[in-house]
């Protein structure tokens, strides 16, 4: 049924592939990931190809996105964090462009699947843990022991802090996924009201104006959410990288 709000998240195998019993088919999700990466890289390469001292509009947009992520990273993790700039910038641009591609009708929203966002979040937390231990050795574990806790309470507090730390990749991924999923379903449901109401004759068409107005408003909200969630994802990445760089808080 065309009004099914879940149908848009359906995975279709475009090129079925199976290696060693593992299904690695090229799906519509993979296609849109490739398109996202290609569009992001293509845009940045094309926009900066002029290398003008006085930037054109496109070059200025590329420079602004650079400045935006760079200042976010400096605020979040200090200037040592800048060694992670390529990582954070790629994450931010990937999530942002994937979210914005999802706003096109009939396009697939890559970030509306939890396995995609969870993989991104695990990449972040994995980087934090590996770099934290690589840079600070066992001193990284100081992250779990806040200052000024009475000795008796330390085991309990450490356990709570560990659970709190382990919950980060989950909350990071669930937040992005839930926002995109809920937003797209809401949009589809309200748009579906327009179609089914206007099939009911003159009164229905009059009534359909209300959900239509709602759909217009929600579309604007979804653009905001698409940007905001990419921003939140990147900001939290910076915050977690800060823990890896300076674990003793």
Q: What separation, in Å, do the N-terminal and C-terminal C-alpha atoms of the chain show?
A: 54
Name the residue nearer to other proteins (CB basis): 3 or 171.
171
How is residue 87 written in tokens? Answer: 């990582």
**Count, residues in the chain:** 249
Q: How far is the CB of 25 from other proteins (least distance, A)?
A: 29
Contacts with other proteins by CB under 8 A lie at: 61, 64-65, 67-68, 70-71, 74-76, 78-80, 96, 100, 146, 156, 159-161, 163-164, 166-168, 170-171, 174-175, 178-179, 182, 221, 223-228, 231-232, 235, 239, 242-243, 246, 249
Distance (Å, rounded) from C-alpha 187 to C-alpha 133? 44
Name the residue nearer to other proteins (CB basis): 214 or 239.
239
Q: How far is the CB of 200 from other proteins (least distance, A)?
A: 30
How is residue 101 written in tokens? Answer: 């591609």
Name the residue nearer to other proteins (CB basis): 191 or 241.
241
Name the residue nearer to other proteins (CB basis): 61 or 212.
61
On whether the CB atoms of residues 98 and 107 are closer than 8 A, the answer is: no
Q: How far is the CB of 66 from other proteins (least distance, A)?
A: 12
Q: How many CA atoms does the CB half-sphere of 113 hold within 13 Å?
A: 18
Buried-state track 4-36, b at ≥16 Cβ within 10 A, e below 16? eeeebbeeeeeeeeeeeeeeeeebebbebbebb
Name the residue nearer to other proteins (CB basis): 37 or 61.
61
Name the residue nearer to other proteins (CB basis): 30 or 40.
40
- Taken in order 72, 74, 80, 83, the sign of the CA dihedral is positive
Considering only CA atoms, give the Rg of the chain. Answer: 22
Q: How far is the CB of 235 from other proteins (least distance, A)?
A: 8
Q: How far is the CB of 203 from other proteins (least distance, A)?
A: 31
Q: How far is the CB of 147 from other proteins (least distance, A)?
A: 8
Distance (Å, rounded) from C-alpha 235 to C-alpha 11? 30
């Amino acid at each position: 049924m065309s009004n099914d709000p879940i149908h848009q998240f359906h995975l279709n195998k475009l090129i079925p592939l199976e290696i060693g019993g593992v299904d690695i088919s090229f799906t519509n999700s993979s296609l849109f990931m490739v398109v996202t990466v290609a569009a992001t890289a293509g845009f940045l390469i094309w926009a900066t190809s002029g290398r003008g001292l006085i930037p054109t509009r496109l070059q200025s947009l590329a420079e602004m996105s650079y400045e935006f992520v760079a200042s976010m990273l400096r605020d979040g993790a200090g200037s040592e964090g800048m060694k992670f700039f390529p990582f954070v910038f790629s994450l931010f641009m990937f999530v942002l462009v994937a979210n914005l591609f999802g706003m096109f009708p009939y396009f697939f929203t890559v970030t509306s699947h939890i396995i995609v966002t969870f993989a991104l979040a695990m990449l972040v937390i994995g980087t934090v843990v590996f770099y934290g231990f690589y840079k600070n050795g066992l001193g990284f574990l100081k992250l779990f022991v806040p200052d000024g806790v009475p000795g008796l309470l330390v085991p309990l507090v450490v356990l709570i802090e560990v659970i709190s730390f382990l919950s980060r990749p989950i909350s990071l991924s669930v937040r992005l996924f839930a926002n995109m999923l809920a937003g797209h379903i809401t949009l589809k449901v309200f748009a579906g009201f327009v179609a089914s109401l206007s099939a009911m004759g003159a009164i229905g068409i009059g009534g359909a104006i209300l959900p239509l107005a709602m759909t217009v408003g929600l579309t604007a909200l979804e653009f905001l959410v698409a940007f905001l969630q990419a921003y939140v994802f990147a900001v939290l990445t910076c915050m977690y990288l800060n823990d890896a760089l300076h674990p003793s808080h």
